[in-house]
Amino acid sequence: MTLAADSPPYASTASLPRHDWTRGEVRALFELPFPELIFRAQSVHRQNFDPTEVQIATLLSIKTGGCPEDCAYCPQSARYDTGVRADKLMTLDAVLDEALAAKECGASRFCMGAAWRSPKDRDLDSVCAMVEAVKALGLETCATLGMLTAAQARRLKASGLDYYNHNLDTSPEFYDHIITTRTYQDRLRTLAHVRDAGIHVCCGGIVGMGESRDDRVGMIATLASLPVHPESVPINMLVRVAGTPLAAQSALDPFEFVRTIAVARITMPRSVVRLSAGRENMSEETQALCFLAGANSIFYGPKLLTTPNPGRDRDRELMARLGLTPMEP
């Protein structure tokens, strides 16, 4: 098959990822015929990764509920009645027990999430102790704690934190429809602090929140135009939770979700693209298409913070049927 000479560019080698993607180019990728898009995404994927390997990560809520933010998708917001109660920060021993169990089940990265707008310094001390202890188990460490100052990012780096998650969530234009208690620039500022501190960046978004395809284009274009691509890019499908403003949102077409995965893979060829929240409501066929489109990471375990996730046995069975194996750290 011969590709059209005016086809949108994509990474043709494993080197020199682009950081100048225009929205027009990203939109053109979304609009490709589905077989062509998947072919291009799989080609880029194979140039940068073993297509049979999937990174296994586990996400634990170390401090649940009571968040003052108004993110319309989040059951942990104190503004919504979702049945999620506010709990205190977990103890170090309890977190270590969970980390050890995750490692024994095959996870190579352990992610810790806390429902804060931003951590207080005394809380950060406790999280840093958790990071140090989890790393001592031989696991990669990741945290998502809300907005950070430059000094807090440096403190986390000193503790040995490998990754920091802070999603952009959506396009700059649609952002105010979802969140009003912090700005898009606030998020970009935290990402800059994390990058400057020498911590790897985990940053993606959520689709299916009522945004348009142009908003998905805008989100991917923003991520792919960062000075350094996020090392990890989680693409989440909205989990509709009763009590949140998005509880009655219509489900996104699964093929549009797969397209989002594929475009993320093409535009950020060296990033690990994580098939993240929402898998509990996805068919195995949709998940398989996502892997074919370049997703190469999942969260392992029955819960993602407060929302359901496929059990480990189901994931092991699906990976075995697809011939996929866990990625080494």
Under 8 Å between Cβ of 306 and 76:
yes
Catalytic residue among 40, 155, 187, 202: 202
Which helix (H) or strand (E) segment holds residue 326: the answer is strand 325-326
Cα 303 from Cα 296, distance rounded (Å): 19
Q: Which residues contact 241 (CB under 8 A, 6 or more apart)?
A: 73, 75, 82, 247, 307
CA–CA distance from 124 to each of 81, 176, 290 (Å)? 28, 29, 36
Under 8 Å between Cβ of 206 and 171:
no
DSSP-assigned letter for residue 77: B
Catalytic residue among 40, 71, 187, 203: 71
Q: In terms of Cα–Cα distance, which of 8, 15, 21 is closest to 224? A: 21
Q: Which residues contact 33 (CB under 8 A, 6 or more apart)?
A: none
User: Does the annotation mark 203 as catalytic?
Assistant: no
Q: In terms of Cα–Cα distance, which of 163, 114, 155 is closest to 135? A: 163
Q: Which residues contact 131 (CB under 8 A, 6 or more apart)?
A: 112, 141, 143, 156, 159, 160, 161
Catalytic residue among 27, 67, 203, 216: 67
Catalytic residue among 27, 40, 109, 142: 142
Q: Which residues pair with 67 in a beta bridge?
A: 77
User: Does the annotation mark 74 as catalytic?
Assistant: yes
User: Does the annotation mark 290 as catalytic?
Assistant: no
Catalytic residue among 155, 274, 279, 290: 274
CA–CA distance from 27 to each of 6, 38, 85 (Å)? 14, 15, 41
Catalytic residue among 27, 111, 155, 216: 111
User: Does the annotation mark 274 as catalytic?
Assistant: yes
Catalytic residue among 74, 128, 203, 290: 74
> Which residues does the annotation mark as catalytic?
67, 71, 74, 111, 142, 202, 274
